[in-house]
């Protein structure tokens, strides 16, 4: 190593190794997405769950959730006797999603974004369209103080747990 550093080849050698490694990883990801999408996205999701603060709260049934808003919704669903899946894998037209709550044919996305970016709104719209194409009824649970940031979704927004009760009543 000392010799390579002194003759100036060490840095170029490290850059070359990084480039090779990067290419290999990009190829691996591409192969996994193409040939084993369900396994790939499940694996990626498991890794994603460990990023940031992670799952810091628990519902009454012991399921770990990300934040207090999800906890409020989840505990409400439990108290109302609803069976649900928390962040299940759903595949729609080759895309994979993990909605916050899935109850039979209903999906509840819980979000408290303050000032969501245009990119986040576009992605959320696409996700909702895909859910609906798959036959799901979709509702967004958003705190009342943030509704103004979600004007594009007015007809899908619920901000009160009592409203959620009506969404979940059998049709």
pLDDT tens for each residue of the chain, 171 residues long = 787 777 878 888 888 888 888 888 888 888 988 898 888 888 887 777 666 667 889 999 999 998 999 999 999 999 999 999 999 989 888 888 999 999 999 999 999 888 889 999 999 999 999 999 999 999 999 999 999 999 889 899 999 999 999 888 864
DSSP E strands: which ranges in 15-170?
57-58, 64-65, 85-86, 90-92, 95-97, 101-103, 106-110, 137-141, 157-158
Distance CA 8, CA 13 (A): 9
pTM: 0.76
- Cβ-based neighbours of 108, under 8 Å, separated by 6 or more: 73, 99, 100, 101, 102, 139, 140, 141, 164, 167
């Amino acid at each position: 190593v000392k010799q390579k550093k002194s003759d100036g080849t060490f840095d170029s050698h490290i850059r070359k190794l990084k480039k090779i490694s990067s290419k290999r990883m990009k190829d691996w990801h591409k192969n996994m997405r193409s040939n084993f999408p369900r396994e790939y996205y499940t694996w990626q999701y498991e890794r994603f769950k460990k990023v940031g603060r992670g799952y810091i709260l628990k519902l009454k049934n012991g399921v770990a959730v990300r934040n207090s808003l999800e906890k409020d919704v989840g505990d409400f669903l439990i108290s109302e006797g609803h069976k649900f899946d928390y962040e299940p894998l759903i595949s729609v037209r080759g895309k994979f999603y993990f909605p916050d709550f899935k109850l039979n044919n209903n999906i509840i996305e819980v979000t408290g974004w303050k000032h969501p970016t245009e990119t986040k709104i576009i992605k959320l719209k696409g996700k909702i369209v895909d859910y609906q194409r798959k036959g799901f009824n979709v509702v967004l649970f958003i705190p009342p103080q943030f509704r103004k940031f979600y004007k594009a979704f007015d007809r899908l927004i619920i901000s009160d747990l009592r409203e959620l009760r009506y969404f979940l009543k059998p049709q």
